[in-house]
A and B are shown apart, each in its own frame.
Chain A
Amino acid sequence: MIAGDLFHRQPLLRELKEVDYLLGSLSRTQVVLAAGNHDYIKKNSYYRTFVWSSNVHMILSSEISCIELEELDTAVYGLSYYEKEKSEPLYEKIRLRDNCRYRILLAHGGDEKHLPFRKGAVESAGFDYVALGHIHKPQELIQNRMVYAGALEPIDKNDTGRHGLVKGSLNESGCKAEFVPAASREYIHMEIEVSENMAGYALRTLIEQEIQKCGVQNLYRITLKGFKDPEVQFDLYHMDTFGNIVGIVDDTIPAFDFLRLLAANRDNLMGKYIERFGDAEPDSVEYQALCEGVRALLETKRG
Chain B
Amino acid sequence: MMRLLELDIKNFGKFHDRNIELYDGLHLVYGENESGKSTLHAFIKAMLFGLERKRGRGSANDTFSKYEPWDNENYYAGGLQFECGGKHFSLQRNFDKYSKKASLTCMTDGEQMSVENGDLDMLLDGLSLPSYENTLYIGQLHAPASQELASELKNYAASYYVAGDSEINLAAAIDNLLAKKKAVDREIKKALLEKQKKRESIEQEASYVWRDIHHIDDKIETIKRELELREMKDEEGAQEDELENEWVKKRFTDALRPAKWRIHPFEIIGILAVIVLAFVLLPNPWNSFVTVVVALLGAIYIWNRVKIGKRSGGIGAEEILEELIPEEELVSTNKLIWEREHLTQERKEKQIEYDNLQEQLQEQDELGDEYQKMDRERDALQLAVKQLEDTSSDMQKQLTGLLNQKASEIIEVITSGKYKRLVADVNLHMSLVGEGRLVAMEQVSQGTLEQIYFALRMAVAEILYHEEYPVILDDTFAFYDDARLKETLKWLAGSGRQVILLSCQKREEEIMKRNGIHYAKTVL
Give the B-binding residues of A (Cβ under 8 A): 9-14, 42, 44-46, 221, 247, 249-250, 263-273, 276-277, 285-286, 288-293, 296-297, 299-303
Q: Which residues of B contact A44 (CB under 8 A)?
A: 348, 351-352
- 0 or 1 for each of B125-138: is its CB under 8 Å from A? (1 = yes): 11011100100000
- Check: B167 CB closer than 8 A to any chain A CB: yes
CB atoms of B381 and A302 under 8 A apart: no
Whole-angstrom distance from the CB of A258 to the nearest CB of chain B? 14
CA of A249 to CA of B352, assembled, Å: 37
CB atoms of A269 and B163 under 8 A apart: yes
A-B contact pairs, 9 of them (CB 8 A): A44-B351, A265-B126, A269-B165, A269-B170, A285-B383, A290-B384, A292-B177, A302-B159, A303-B130
CB atoms of B388 and A268 under 8 A apart: no
Q: Which residues of B contact A272 (CB under 8 A)?
A: 164, 391, 394-395
Of the candidates B129, B162, B165, the one whose C-beta lies within 8 Å of that of A270 is: B165
CB atoms of A297 and B345 under 8 A apart: no
Contact of A12 with B384 at beta-carbon distance under 8 Å, contacts A296-B177, A303-B167 already known: no
Using a CB-CB cutoff of 8 Å, which residues 485-513 of chain B contact chain A? none
Q: Which residues of B contact A276 (CB under 8 A)?
A: 387, 390-391
Using a CB-CB cutoff of 8 Å, which residues 135-168 of chain B contact chain A? 159, 162-168
Q: Which stretch in B247-255, B330-338, B370-378, B438-446 binds the other chain? A: B370-378
- 0 or 1 for each of B444-477: is its CB under 8 Å from A? (1 = yes): 0000000000000000000111100000000000
Whole-angstrom distance from the CB of A95 to the nearest CB of chain B? 35
CA of A277 to CA of B383, assembled, Å: 11
CB atoms of B464 and A268 under 8 A apart: yes
Q: Which residues of B contact A269 (CB under 8 A)?
A: 162-165, 168, 170, 388, 391-392, 395
- Check: B368 CB closer than 8 A to any chain A CB: yes
Q: Which residues of B contact A249 (CB under 8 A)?
A: 369-370, 373
For the A-B complex, the count of residue pairs with Cβ-Cβ distances under 8 Å equals 132
CB atoms of B176 and A9 under 8 A apart: no
Q: Which residues of B contact A268 (CB under 8 A)?
A: 163-165, 168, 464
CB atoms of B376 and A288 under 8 A apart: yes
Q: Which residues of A contact B370 (CB under 8 A)?
A: 247, 249
Q: Which residues of A contact B162 (CB under 8 A)?
A: 269
CB atoms of B373 and A289 under 8 A apart: no
Contact of A285 with B379 at beta-carbon distance under 8 Å, contacts A9-B356, A247-B370, A269-B168 already known: yes
CB atoms of B176 and A299 under 8 A apart: yes
CA of A285 to CA of B172, assembled, Å: 22
CA of A276 to CA of B390, assembled, Å: 10
Q: Which residues of B contact A264 (CB under 8 A)?
A: 121, 125-126, 128
Q: Which residues of A contact B465 (CB under 8 A)?
A: 267
Most buried by B among A14, A269, A273, A286: A269
CB atoms of A289 and B387 under 8 A apart: yes
Q: Which residues of B contact A293 (CB under 8 A)?
A: 173, 177, 384, 387-388
Whole-angstrom distance from the CB of B161 to the nearest CB of chain A? 10
Whole-angstrom distance from the CB of A237 to the nearest CB of chain B? 11
CB atoms of B464 and A267 under 8 A apart: yes
- Check: B355 CB closer than 8 A to any chain A CB: yes
- Check: B353 CB closer than 8 A to any chain A CB: yes
Q: Which residues of B contact A10 (CB under 8 A)?
A: 352, 355-356
CA of A108 to CA of B58, assembled, Å: 75
Closest 9 CB pairs of A and B: A264-B126, A303-B130, A268-B164, A268-B165, A288-B380, A300-B172, A289-B383, A269-B163, A293-B384
CB atoms of A270 and B168 under 8 A apart: yes
What number of B residues sit within 8 Å (CB to CB) of A? 57
- A249-B373, A267-B164, A269-B395 are known contacts; what are 16 more A-B pairs with Cβ within 8 Å? A9-B356, A9-B360, A10-B352, A12-B353, A14-B349, A249-B370, A250-B373, A265-B126, A272-B164, A289-B382, A292-B177, A293-B388, A296-B174, A300-B175, A302-B168, A303-B128
- Check: B359 CB closer than 8 A to any chain A CB: yes
Contact of A297 with B168 at beta-carbon distance under 8 Å, contacts A264-B126, A276-B387, A303-B130 already known: yes
**What residue of chain A has the Cβ atom nearest to residue B388's Cβ?**
A293
CB atoms of B380 and A292 under 8 A apart: yes
Whole-angstrom distance from the CB of B422 to the nearest CB of chain A? 20
**What residue of chain B has the Cβ atom nearest to residue A158's Cβ?**
B369
CA of A291 to CA of B175, assembled, Å: 16
CA of A13 to CA of B489, assembled, Å: 101
CA of A291 to CA of B384, assembled, Å: 8
CB atoms of B377 and A247 under 8 A apart: no
CA of A169 to CA of B388, assembled, Å: 68
Q: Which residues of B contact A289 (CB under 8 A)?
A: 379-384, 387
Q: Which residues of B contact A263 (CB under 8 A)?
A: 126
**What residue of chain A has the Cβ atom nearest to residue B353's Cβ?**
A12
CB atoms of A300 and B176 under 8 A apart: yes
- Check: B180 CB closer than 8 A to any chain A CB: yes
Q: Which residues of B contact A296 (CB under 8 A)?
A: 173-174, 176-177, 180, 384, 388
CA of A238 to CA of B352, assembled, Å: 41
Q: Which residues of A contact B352 (CB under 8 A)?
A: 10-12, 44-46
Of the candidates A46, A285, A301, the one whose C-beta lies within 8 Å of that of B169 is: A301
CA of A266 to CA of B356, assembled, Å: 62
**What residue of chain B has the Cβ atom nearest to residue A44's Cβ?**
B348
Contact of A300 with B169 at beta-carbon distance under 8 Å, contacts A9-B356, A12-B349, A269-B391 already known: yes
